[in-house]
Amino acid sequence: MTTTTEERARDRKKTAERLLASSAKLSFDPLKEIDWAAEPVEGAYYLPPHRVSLYGTELWEGLTEAQRIELSKHEVASVASVGIWFEEILMQMLLRHAFDRDPTTAHVQYALTEIADECRHSVMFAKMISWMGVPAYGPGKVSHELGRVFKAVSTHSQTFGGTMYVEEILDSFQREMMADESLQPLVRQVSRIHVIEESRHITYAREEMLRRDLGPVRRRFEQLLLGLVIFRSTKSLIHPQVYAAVGIDPVEGRRVARANPHWRATKREMAAKVIGVLDKAGLVGGANRWMLRRIGVI
């Protein structure tokens, strides 16, 4: 990139002012705007069936319709609980970003606004999981502990690159969910609120990430760490324990999902856009391509 420091500062200010104005116009309070007393709709899926990790496999064929719906519910809960894990990581990373900068700037004020959004989102996801009456599966022990370190030491590129990845993946799922009238209305409403507010976060992260120039050595380091974030967060999306809810052995369920061409295609499809942007920012390359391939997002 050939822009000067002043041009970048101006651009940063312009983006933040636009995002602050949009937040003032359209933000949601999920405690008030979602009918948490509503009963689930009988016979409706929580996630489109073709996005369930076992869809199309022999294990899937062996499930009754009621079990398939049940599995879709547990998978939505798993993804939402991973969403909370990452939002908590992100809130801390944004706080660290704000901590070192001038709070009177629009850029920092938007970082603080985004923390407030994420705070409401995490409560919303948590309430949705309670509403469904299923466990908050979380990302698993290893990712949980890696997250503990990552949120304390992530660099600028890792903060905004990692954020973009997780936000875009959730966004792809939720755009489809909010548009699908056959799904549970409450889950669609949660998806709609999240999609609207996340589109601002994605802009903030993408533009901030693209503002950074990286030398060749640094670039490889950032690729490696970002690859790890992508690998762990993708691997953690569906907790194997979800399969036990429909009588499938978790180890077997995970093995079948991993090899399932439908699930692999879903992951590639959901990641296609964001991997393209990360590539443009120089954050996809030799140091992480093998990990992205291994986890099935390219």
Site for Fe ion, rule CB under 5 A: 118, 121, 167, 198, 201
Looking at beta carbons only, is 167 or 208 nearer to Fe ion? 167
Closer CB to Fe ion, 248 or 270, in the complex:
270
To the nearest whole angstrom, how small is the minimum distance from the Cβ of residue 61 to Fe ion? 35
Closest CA to 13 of 102, 106, 134: 106
Closer residue to Fe ion (CB): 55 or 110: 110
From CA 119, how far away is CA 110, in angstroms rounded?
14
AA identity, residue 25:
K
Nearest approach, Cβ of residue 87 and Fe ion (Å): 5
DSSP codes joined into one string, 97-128:
HHHTS-TTSHHHHHHHHHHHHHHHHHHHHHHH
Q: How far is the CB of 169 from Fe ion (least distance, A)?
A: 12
The residue among 23 and 67 lying less far from Fe ion, judged by its C-beta, is: 23
Closest to 231 measured CA to CA, from 157, 169, 173:
169
Tokens 């490889």 sit on residue: 220
The least distance separating Fe ion from the CB of residue 170, rounded to whole angstroms, comes to: 7
Do the beta carbons of residue 250 and residue 243 sit within 8 Å? Answer: yes
CB of 190 closer than 8 Å to CB of 46: no
Q: Which of 126, 224 has the CB closer to Fe ion? A: 126
What is the nearest approach in angstroms of Fe ion to the Cβ of residue 171?
A: 9
Task: Between 194 and 267, name the residue whose CB sits nearer to Fe ion.
Answer: 194
Q: Which residues, 6 or more positions from 237, have their beta carbon under 8 angstroms from its beta carbon?
A: 78, 79, 82, 169
Smallest gap from Cβ 37 to Fe ion, in A, equals 24
Q: Cα(90)–Cα(205) distance, rounded to whole angstroms?
A: 11
